[in-house]
């Protein structure tokens, strides 16, 4: 009798697991996902560069990663420990991008940071959310403390900087930790970009 009871419990457990997997499959088939992590995206005088870029997710069960130990873009920036990830789950997308020891020069201003990180999260049926972490930021040798609020704008002569830039879309969000643009339009640099979006069909 004990063996029969145990067998029935096992059948119930298997049936439950199959039901969950079946539900996951239904959720997966009824949604469109988009996710990407990119550590550096730069356009200088019309020439574009992307570093440690995961590319876009291939579906709700996909995961992508990109990394580089060091980077140097002549006359623009250097950085270390570049890492980006994007992961799709049934009903959720998570993306992240980060680097350390950033040193950059744009429009004559030196910009440095110990750490720059962006994270984006999208859950089916909810608005996308994002967060950034920028530690040890200095601009022109002057320490700058980010407020943490989305889209904090810093304006200088010939230069515009947005910290924790957040661009919302239906079911998703793009988070750019540090977005630097020269006002002459020649230089546009995003450090730490994470995208996550999930919408039903």
Neighbours of 26 (CB within 10 A): 11
92-113 burial code (b ≥16 CB/10 A, e <16): bbbbbbbbbebebebbebebbb
The pTM of this model reads: 0.84
From first to last of the 201 residues of the chain, give the pLDDT tens digit. Answer: 444 444 333 433 433 433 333 344 344 457 899 999 999 999 999 999 999 999 999 988 999 999 999 999 999 999 999 999 999 998 999 999 999 999 999 999 999 999 999 999 999 999 999 999 999 999 999 999 999 999 999 999 999 999 999 999 988 999 999 999 999 999 999 999 999 999 887
Distance CA 110, CA 118 (A): 21
Query: What 3 state SS string does 75-106 have?
Result: CCEEEEEEEEEEEEECCEEEEEEEEEEEEEEE
Q: What is the pLDDT of residue 23?
A: 42
């Amino acid at each position: 009798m004990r063996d029969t009871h145990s067998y029935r419990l096992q059948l119930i457990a298997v049936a439950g697991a199959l039901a969950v997997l079946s539900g996951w499959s239904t959720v997966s088939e009824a949604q469109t996902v988009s996710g990407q992590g990119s550590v550096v995206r730069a356009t200088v005088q019309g020439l574009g560069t992307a570093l440690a870029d995961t590319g876009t997710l291939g579906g709700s069960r996909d995961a992508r990663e990109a990394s580089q130990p060091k980077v140097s873009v002549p006359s623009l920036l250097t950085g270390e420990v570049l890492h980006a990830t994007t992961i799709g789950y049934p009903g959720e997308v998570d993306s992240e991008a980060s680097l350390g020891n950033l040193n950059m020069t744009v429009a004559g201003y030196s910009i440095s940071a110990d750490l720059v990180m962006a994270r984006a999260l999208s859950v089916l049926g909810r608005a996308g959310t994002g967060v950034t972490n920028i530690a040890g930021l200095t601009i022109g040798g002057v320490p700058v403390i980010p407020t943490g609020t989305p889209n904090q704008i810093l304006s200088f002569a010939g230069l515009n900087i947005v910290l924790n830039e957040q661009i919302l879309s239906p079911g998703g969000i793009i988070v750019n930790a540090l977005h630097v643009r020269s006002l002459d339009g020649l230089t546009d640099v995003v450090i730490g970009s994470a995208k996550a979006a999930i919408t039903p069909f």
